[in-house]
Amino acid sequence: MRKKKENLQKNCESLRNIKFLILVLCLGFFELFSFPKFSSTEHISLFSWTRLETSSYNYGYNIAATVKSQKQVGNQLTVAATIQVPLQSWLEVVDSMEITFNNTLPTIVVSCSPAYKSSIWLQKFIVSEPYLGIDSLLFTFPVQEQISSYRKYDYFIIAINDSIHLQYQGVEDSVFMGSFINYKRKSEPDKRLIAKGAIMVMVSDEAPFKIQKIQFNAKYKDLIAQYLKCDLYSKFGTNCDYFGIDFTGKTTAASVSNVKVNADTLIADSTYSITWTTEEKETVESCSIFVSFNDNVTWYLQPVNNIESVMKNETYSWTVPRQINSCKFKVVVSGNGQVASATSALYPVKILSKLPVTDSEVVNNYYLTAIIKSDTVYLSWKDSTSASLTTDSIGLFKCNSQFIERNDPGVKLVRMFPVNVSSFSLLNPDSLCYLGILVRNEKGRWSKTNPGSIVSVGKKIFDTVTIAPSDTHSLFNNSLWVWNTSNNTFTDTVEKWNGPLNGFIPISSGFSFKNGDKIFEPLWFQIPYLKSSYSYNPDNIHLYSFDISRGGWVVSYDSVIVDTTNGFVSARNSSIHLPFMFLLDTLKPVISFSDISKVPVKSGQRIHYSLTITDNVKNCTWKYMAGTGDESPLDLSFYVDTSSGRQILGVSIPPVIVDGCTGFRALFTVSDMVHENTVDLGRPVIRESWNCDNITTDTMQWAPVLVSANLDNPELKSVMAFSSGKKTWSYNTKEMRIIKWIPGHQKAFDGGWVEYNESENSLFQIKPGQHLWIKTKERLNLDFGRAVVPKLNAVDTINIPPNQWIDFSNPFPFDIYLSDIFKTTSNPQIDSSIRVYSWDKDSLNRSYNTNLLYISGLSGHGEPDASIKRLQSYTAFNNANVPVFLLIPALSTEASAFVNTQRSLSKKGNNSHWSMSIKSWGSDNINNASVYLGENSALSKEITSPLSPSFSSQSISIYDKNRKKTWGVVVSPKESESGNYFEILFENSASNAATVRTVIDEMFNIEQSHFIRWYDTEKDIWISAQDTMEVSLKPKQRLVKII
């Protein structure tokens, strides 16, 4: 017993020694370990981004920070930085940010690898002024010292609350995966895991504090918000699948300088090169060019074609508009969160070629006076300046409304007079009318009236009004109310007035203030209208003034208020010196020009149009939008020349947007406040020196052959001969294989594949919207030669036979939303009948397989917010019993109205809906076609779709035992109380044995209460769906598993 006691004492002493040794080592480690060091010139970029599952494109906001100071107090290091926030207007808002680190183990870390127990820990980010509503962001993560690295299988666990923990584990040396677990159910494996892979963190020794990228899965945004103590997902303001932050460090910042044009004075209509100098060019990711006119503070973004070339060569080609006196340029570059800009000097602009001067109008300087006595009107006139020396004769004209020219509607000649006659008398008309003096020159040309050469006679209706500040008066038996919002008092006579009504419906009488030219403040007017008699939209009633000097109606852009309940229209009038009426415009503006839109132009060619605007409203507004085919059109109204007047406009399309790769769109719109008219000034564009659809095949791999422009020589033989540099070409199966999906063809194999032969040459033409497949023994450069991008108002038609698959491609050189395709197709059945898949290369870039893009009713795939990509292959299935004609418009995602709508799933109410996909691959690691399972309680019946095409000899499919059919998609209308189960058929059509591996891939709305299991029918065992399922198949074997 004593011996045992002595041994126990020795063991305890040994333990005390070990414990002491560990304590010493820990203390020594803290002395050696230091906080991360940041130089005062270092730049850190916080780039917040969001990403959709179907796209690798990231979009978001930059916060570029320059380290200014770092301060250590006790166990905490605070790094202060100055940040610049580039806004959409390219203003720079300077703010500050703090990053805090601790060299003690955070209390919320409940367990971790030994290396992290004495590590530095990143704690949080604090922004002094909230950015997008975010003022702080907590993010607990260990920061290894410089000489150490993160390791695979390292871990740490953070307590979010009493039951939810976040477990990070190194799945690679550079990747940590964060999963949320239910700590209270840690002994129940089936219920322990809540959100696997909710957070992915990439680490690197090259990044600031070794954290390079944080990616959050939007499916678990509520859990992530608890961890960050901030709802970052909502702050980003967009619906996405992933969101996160990139951290990048740079010891130097990009800068721009020496922005200039190699000329002292710029010549209108000439093209110049804007050049600049960029320091640290390799950090620049984007570049924007802005122009300001006439020393104004407004900057206009310019269209940029081939941005990579612009950034590399530091030059931009720009054509000088005619309508400016001077201009200056700003170049803005950004990259890694850094933004830099520089501005040029102000350059004067000179016009060398003046527009031809038209013949001057016949001068009319006569002043007409009318005196009414009894029933007689006594007229007298006089040339006020004696300038009308070329006057041959004088004409007296009459009309029921005020007129300008002798050819105006309703104008009649009363009498002609020689120039030496200056008076005349006639009977006073019974109703209001207008008399005017016009002069004719020796060539027989007539003048117009002027405000002094026309008078009103006949039975006049007038009222007198005195209006004090804030006063309201009723005139003409309550047919006109007027109120004064100014501080002035005035008295005037208001006459009823008649004006020409070409294209207008009068809502009120016309009115004219006798001394309106002396009323300088606006007045409000109100008139009643008969609600029961109108068959028009009351919102289209506007106030119009008549230009008594030059003629024509001018619509008021002041406020108009329509009271449809009580039947009143009110308007603010700032042109009291002109007669006015409330009118309803019935005429649409007409835009006339020489339409040569079918004639192709060369890439980079400058185009000019002369437009004539015809309308009954003379102050129409117009807007000119243009841009390359793949970009959102920019406002290029400064390229509109108005020197010939508002009715004749010169419109130039700058060469930089006439793009041979994507084409261009140019839209000119005229509006008269009621009607709008738009003309398309686009043209087809020639690809001449280089075709941007050209591809190079990889050895012994299938590749799609497709184009986005109309080839001069679309025959396959011509393309192959041109690409090989030979006069003729013949098909040799030892060198290549070429196939195309043509279901129903007499020589089709495996459902619809047809191999090329010379007799079928016409079926293998290379046209936009179609594609074929090629596999070559050696790498082959395919050159499609000269082609023409169509005018971008075209619509391409894809014919999909009933109950068949059809391969197609995007016929245009830019991405297009499915929503725009469905809208253009305008078929109410399109939603339920079409299934769309994309042909995608696998992660190893070795083979193509199909992935579901759209099918109505399947969660995660049932909304048309996806897009078909340029130069991308697709396959579609028509589930209907009639053909479907899919209409694809030439409308890019950037130019689409859909780009500004909320891209979110439709609200399903209380309906239950979920989906998952099963990915599989064979022994050669080539992906098979995925299958898709789901449930949607909003459905009235089950949705099914056949298995999509594949190049693999193995496949998996959903097996319908009752109907003896296989499917690629099954969506059940109702989930049973015991859940859903599906039989999965594994097939091997090859002549050799194969192993098929499967894994659960995408999941949508799979709740915590759901669990997924495989059932092995042969072994009678359940297998976790988180594991890879392996099935060995003999040649030509079929085998069923249950999930």
Q: What are phi and psi of 295, to 5 degrees?
A: 55, 35
Q: For the whole model, what pTM was predicted?
A: 0.72
Q: Given this model, what pLDDT does residue 1009 score?
A: 58
Neighbours of 608 (CB within 10 A): 11
Average pLDDT over residues 987-1006: 86
DSSP 994-1035: EEEEEEEEEEES--TT---EEEETTTTEEEETTSPEEEEE-T
Cα angle vertex 35, ends 34, 41, to 5°?
125
Intra-chain end-to-end CA distance of the chain, in Å = 62
What are 573's strand-pairing partners? 523
Torsion sign across C-alpha atoms 709, 714, 717, 718: negative
Residue 902 has pLDDT above 60, yes or no: no
CA diameter of the chain: 152
Structural contact between residues 394 and 683, judged by C-beta atoms closer than 8 angstroms = no
DSSP letter assigned to residue 617: B
User: Is 341:331 a contact under the CB 8 Å cutoff?
Assistant: yes
Residues 272 and 302: beta-carbon distance below 8 Å:
no
User: DSSP characters for 9-31?
Assistant: HHHHHHHHHHHHHHHHHHHHHHH
Topology agreement, domain 366-457 and domain 590-681: yes
Among 28-37, 354-363, 627-636, whose mean pLDDT is lowest? Answer: 28-37
In a 3-state reduction of DSSP, which class is residue 645?
A: coil
What is the Cα gyration radius of the chain? 39
pLDDT, greater one: 15 or 38: 38
Measured distance CA(936)–CA(862) in Å, rounded: 11
- The strand ranges marked E within 400-479 are 412-417, 423-427, 433-441, 454-457, 462-467, 472-475
Encoded tokens for 152: 């695979």
Q: What one-letter code names the amino acid at 635?
A: D
Q: Do 1013 and 1022 form a contact (C-beta atoms < 8 A)?
A: yes
Give the model confidence (pLDDT) of 953-987 as tens digits: 888 999 888 888 899 999 988 766 666 778 889 89
Mean pLDDT of the 614-624 span: 92
Percent of the chain with pLDDT over 90: 35
DSSP 346-376: -EEEE--SPPPPPPPPPP--EEEEEEEETTE
pLDDT at 254 over 80: no
Cβ count near 688 (within 10 Å): 14
Q: What are phi and psi of 332, to 5 degrees?
A: -120, 125
Closest CA to 954 of 876, 1017, 1035: 1035
Asked if residues 168 and 177 have their Cβ atoms less than 8 Å apart, the reply is yes
- Please report which residue ranges of 725-817 form alpha helices under DSSP H: none
Which of 237-246, 291-300, 585-594, 620-629 has the weakest average pLDDT? 237-246
Half-sphere exposure in the Cβ direction for 182 (13 Å, CA): 12
Closest CA to 397 of 375, 379, 374: 379
**What CA–CA distance (Å, rounded) separates 197 from 180?**
8
Q: Are strands 1038-1042 and 983-988 parallel, antiparallel or unpaired?
A: antiparallel
Please give the Cα distance from 469 to 456 (Å, whole number): 31
Return the minimum-mean-pLDDT range out of 318-327, 596-605, 908-917.
908-917
**Count, residues in the chain:** 1043
549 vs 836, residue with greater confidence: 836
Give phi and psi for 678, each to the nearest 5: -125, 135
The residue with tokens 């040396």 is 173
Cβ–Cβ < 8 Å for 160, 227? yes
User: Which carries the bigger pLDDT value, residue 742 or residue 595?
Assistant: 742
Task: Choose between 117 and 613: higher pLDDT.
Answer: 613
Q: Which of 86-100, 156-170, 377-391 has the highest mean pLDDT?
A: 156-170
At 59, is the pLDDT very low, low, confident or very high (cuts 50, 70, 90)? low
The reported pLDDT for the residue numbered 974 is 75
Cα 684 from chain centroid? 23
Amino acid at 214: I
According to CATH, what is the number of the domain 462-585?
2.60.220.30
Question: What is the rounded distance in angstroms from the CA atom of residue 172 to the CA atom of residue 151?
Answer: 7
Distance, in Å, from the CA atom of 979 to the CA atom of 988, rounded to the nearest integer, reads 29
Confidence of residue 844 (pLDDT cuts 50, 70, 90): low
Query: Mean per-residue pLDDT for 556-583?
Result: 89
Give the span between the Cα atoms of 791 and 481, in whole angstroms. Answer: 53
Report the alpha-carbon distance of residue 508 to residue 526 in Å, rounded: 10
The pLDDT value recorded for residue 99 is 83
Q: Which homologous superfamily does the CATH classification assign to the domain defined by 590-681? A: Immunoglobulins (2.60.40.10)
Grade residue 204 by pLDDT with cuts at 50, 70 and 90: confident
Interacting residues of 185 by C-beta distance below 8 A, sequence separation 6+:
191, 192
Phi, psi of 19 (to 5 degrees): -60, -40
Residues in Cβ contact with 105 at an 8 Å cutoff, skipping those fewer than 6 apart: 112, 116, 117, 118, 119, 121
**Which residue did the predictor score with more confidence, 1013 or 19?**
1013
Q: Given this model, what pLDDT does residue 632 score?
A: 86
Architecture field, domain 255-350:
Sandwich (2.60)
Least confident window among 130-144, 486-500, 575-589: 130-144
CATH 2.60.40.10 fits 366-457, yes or no: yes
The residues facing 467 across adjacent strands are 490
Structure tokens at 523: 């007045």
Long-range contacts of 279-284 (CB under 8 A, 24+ apart): 279/252, 279/254, 279/255, 280/250, 280/252, 280/253, 280/254, 280/255, 281/254, 281/311, 281/312, 281/314, 283/250, 283/252, 283/253, 283/254, 283/335, 283/336, 283/338, 284/254, 284/311, 284/333, 284/334, 284/335
State the Cα–Cα distance between residues 419 and 364, nearest whole angstrom: 12
Enclosing H/E stretch for 959? strand 954-960
| CA of residue 720 relative to chain centroid, distance | 38
How confident is the model over 74-91, as a mean pLDDT? 61
Residue 3 DSSP symbol: H
Query: For 372-404, what is each residue's pLDDT tens digit?
Result: 888 899 999 998 775 556 788 999 999 988 888
901 confidence band (pLDDT: 50, 70, 90): very low
Domain boundaries along the sequence of the chain: 1-32, 39-250, 255-350, 366-457, 462-585, 590-681, 695-896, 913-1042
Tokens for 677, please give them: 């008219």
AA letter at 951: F
Burial of 929 (0-12, 13-18, 19+ CB in 10 A): buried
CB 771 within 8 A of CB 764: no
Report the mean per-residue pLDDT for the chain: 82
Tokens of residue 284, six digits:
């620049």
Distance between CA atoms of residues 426 and 411, nearest Å: 17
d(CA 586, CA 584): 6
Task: Provide the token pair at 218.
Answer: 């939007």
- How far apart CA 816 and CA 62 sit, in angstroms, is 27
Beta-bridge mates of residue 622: 670
The contacts of residue 997 (CB under 8 Å, 6+ apart) are 920, 921, 922, 1028, 1029, 1030, 1031
What confidence tens digit (pLDDT) does each residue in 427-480 have?
998 888 999 999 998 888 898 988 889 999 988 888 888 888 888 888 888 889
Q: Which DSSP letter does residue 430 get?
A: S
Contact (CB, 8 A) for 685 and 603: yes
More confident residue, 939 or 274: 274
Ordered DSSP codes for 242-296: EEEEEEEEESS--EEEEEEES-SSEETT-EEEEEEEEESGGG--EEEEEEEETT-
How would residue 17 be classed by pLDDT, with cut points 50, 70 and 90? very low
The percentage of the chain sitting over the pLDDT mark of 70, rounded to a whole number, equals 85
Planar angle of CA 650, 654, 655, nearest 5 degrees: 135
Nearest to 616 by CA among 446, 496, 500: 500
pLDDT of amino acid 338: 62
802: Cβ contacts below 8 Å, ≥ 6 apart: 878, 880, 881, 882, 883, 884
